[in-house]
Structure 1
Amino acid sequence: MKRHVARAGAGLGALALLAGGIFCFGGGYDRWSTGRLLTNACDGVLPAAGVRSVLGERHLKADDDSKGSLDDTSTSLRVVCGVSRDTEKNAGKHADDGSVTVTVNGVPTLDREDRRYESLYPTVRSGLPPAPLGQGWNGVFSVGDSHGEGKATTAVLLDCAPGRGDLLVTVSVNVDGYVDDSPLDNPERRTAFVRIATDTATNASRRWNCDADLGEALTTVPLPVNKDEYVAPADAKGTCSGITARGKAVARAWESERGTAPFEECILGNAEGHTTYRLAAHYGPYTEGARHDHVERSGDPDPIAAGQRSGVLANGSYWTTATCPGGGEPALFTLVPYDDKAKRPEADRAYALSVLKAFAERSAAAHRCAAPAAPTTTTEP
């Protein structure tokens, strides 16, 4: 009898070991550890299913940097986490071959330490204008960055309940790290990327008692314009509308649809396709970030704080402002000339001011802001 019991016990032990081996080598442990990792990362606001759809189930690691509070008036919230494929377990691939980086910023930035950063908020700028999300979301989607085409970035700005700062959620996905190799022309692929941001924003609004009005569940996401999709300025209907051509010097326009996104761009180029002017509209955190980049970090006097409403920055860019509902940062509109600023003739300056005026007026009207100040060449506050 004892011999039979011993055999039965050994059999059960072997089955347990076999089940454990199947669990581990079949990916069960990786799925369990990934689920735990995604639940804990970024203060628990990541959408686990969305991240899995981008990076897969196995061999993931996370870096987390969460600090600050929305309830402390002396600090600002800054939550940053990155989830990537583990290099050591991924057949030698670099971790950047599959990664998602999420940043949740309290707006405005209050910490003096945070203001040392090169930029207060993650950039959504790429080579060409980003596309507004629409569907009730105050955000944009851009492809690539200033160094190449390696990212798909989504930013969502949450207008929190009165008495609280807002939240800016920014998600960057390495486009080469998706488990599917289909291009971003595939609407399912880019919608999967953007849903990580909108789902994170939904979770963040709940987590930090933001109580913002949220958009609809995304069914599709517009694809930003590419280099071949330019129009003549006279045919522009979106962010470049109202801008006149100027011979061969300004013969092409790259634009996005006109919406109410917190960051908008219009790119103007010559007949050969080279950029002549870059126009940008900054709202909320992007106004604060632009002022930090162009003035605060350089130590120059802040002309906006001094009461100036338009002028020329130290780098030669023209700017103007408009007051918007809510009483926060004014909207900031900039035009960067891509020619020799030191030798710019008066006719070029007059044209640049007229272009900035047309761009700023239409953007401000779409955002229900007051009419912008007339652009000038003033340099002193």
Structure 2
Amino acid sequence: MQKKSGLRGIHAGWYAVVCVLVLGLVALVLYGSGAYDSWRDGRSLDQACDGALAQDGLTSALGSSHLKAEDGDDGSLAGCFVKTSPGTGRAVRVTLRWSTDGAPSGSLVWYNADTLGVREQAAPLGNGWSGVVRYDGTWQIMVALDCANQKNKALVAYGDLYGASSGTALTGLGRVTTETAKKAAAQHGCQVKAGKRLTRVSTARLGEPGTAKPLGQAQGSCVALRDVPGAQSGTPEIMEYPADPDAPQTNCYLATSAKKPGYGLYAYYGAAAKDFESVGFGHPGGDYVLATAPCPRSTHEAAFALYRLYDRDTGNYPVPHYSDSFARSALKAFAEHEAEQRGCGEVRIMSAP
């Protein structure tokens, strides 16, 4: 009996050794084949942005299905950084915050360029989303989703695209940003009105050749300026985006006969209005007019601005002589039209230089 018991102990020991060797061999194979790295990268995506990262669109945005995520939190609600694995220089950063919190410093830079040509332009995201597309060397999509059950609070999401870009990549970024915002809002009990799934986000930008057209042909964001006295004489051209009552920012540019943007008109709503005001209304330098209006979607008033624009290429102002009376009448027409489209209250001119 003792002999058999001893044999069983020896066999059990060998079985244990064999199991360890097999497990080690399997682990080695998995590691060598890249399966472990793939599992680890997939897990990092699942946990990214506190589990709110929507992965639909990442492959299109980054041109690869081999991706990994890293923590990108900078003190906001959540943040994550997704890049290709191995790295190709292309990456997506997603940042989430509440509108009641201060905006990340990087996002505030967009409001400092109101006076510099068309640099502060924002195209409406469309498809029912309260969002815009912006470009300043890199592409950014911003979405602000109001919480229907939490007064004066919105979930704000930023998606930044680094590296090579295209319409396909930007559309992918749009899906990542919008769906992540929607998912994060649900996680935190914020009931939102979301738009439809994005199928196309255009890379078109104002200021490029062919983007100016006669003022009389305005149909979108500049339509209210067609009948403003004096507009045809000094700024007979316009650069505009399609009108979109859901976008948190609207802009229109009045251009000279040389197709140089002379005046920039901007409207900001909700979280965008709060951020715009937090940097001193875009740090106005030069000639400007400001206005506000109460709007139903937010307890924070909408902000409207007109700036005479500076052309950095020529070092001067395309509109050489600023007219306060024209600026006031142009902003009033623009703001009142915007307010009417959004169901806002009376527009009040705030200040003038």
The TM-score, its normalising length taken from structure 2, stands at 0.77
Residue 225 of structure 2 is matched in structure 1 by: 243
Mapped partners of 2:329, 2:204: distance in 1: 26
Which residue among 345, 349, 353 is the counterpart of 1:370? 345
Which residue among 322, 325, 331 is the counterpart of 2:296? 325
Which residue among 201, 206, 214 is the counterpart of 2:194? 214
- Unpaired runs of 5+ residues, structure 2, are 1-14, 311-315
Matches within 5 A, 1:6-85: 20=27, 23-55=30-62, 56-58=64-66, 60-65=68-73, 67=75, 78-85=76-83
Residue 174 of structure 2 is matched in structure 1 by: 194
Which residue among 81, 97, 100 is the counterpart of 2:92? 100
Count matched residues: 326
User: Over aligned residue pairs, what C-alpha RMSD do you find?
Assistant: 3.7
Tell me how far 1:118 sits from its aligned partner: 4.4
Residue 215 of structure 2 is matched in structure 1 by: 233
Q: Secondary structure at the match of 1:323?
A: strand
Change (3 A) 1:98 1:82: farther
Tell me how far 1:262 sits from its aligned partner: 0.8
| Equivalent residues of 2:108, 2:279 under 8 A apart | no
Residue 160 of structure 1 is matched in structure 2 by: 147
Residue 276 of structure 1 is matched in structure 2 by: 262
Q: Secondary structure at the match of 2:184?
A: helix
| Equivalent residues of 2:142, 2:156 under 8 A apart | yes
Tell me how far 1:127 sits from its aligned partner: 3.0
Q: Secondary structure at the match of 1:329?
A: strand
| Equivalent residues of 2:97, 2:155 under 8 A apart | yes
Q: Does residue 169 of the first structure (1) align with residue 157 of the second (2)?
A: yes
| Equivalent residues of 2:324, 2:352 under 8 A apart | no
- Unpaired runs of 5+ residues, structure 1, are 1-7, 68-77, 299-312
Which residue among 132, 135, 148 is the counterpart of 1:140? 132
Tell me how far 1:265 sits from its aligned partner: 0.8
Change (3 A) 1:22 1:59: farther
Q: In the alignment, residue 171 of structure 1 is paired with which amino acid?
A: G
* Identical counterparts, % of pairs: 24
Q: Secondary structure at the match of 2:149?
A: coil
Tell me how far 1:323 sits from its aligned partner: 1.1
Point out the more displaced range, 9-18 or 362-371. Answer: 9-18
Q: In the alignment, residue 205 of structure 1 is paired with which amino acid?
A: A
Q: Deviations 1:17-40 (Å, cap 9, x if unpaired)?
A: 775555334432232122111222
Residue 305 of structure 2 is matched in structure 1 by: 334
Change (3 A) 1:196 1:376: closer
Tell me how far 1:356 sits from its aligned partner: 1.1
Tell me how far 1:46 sits from its aligned partner: 0.5
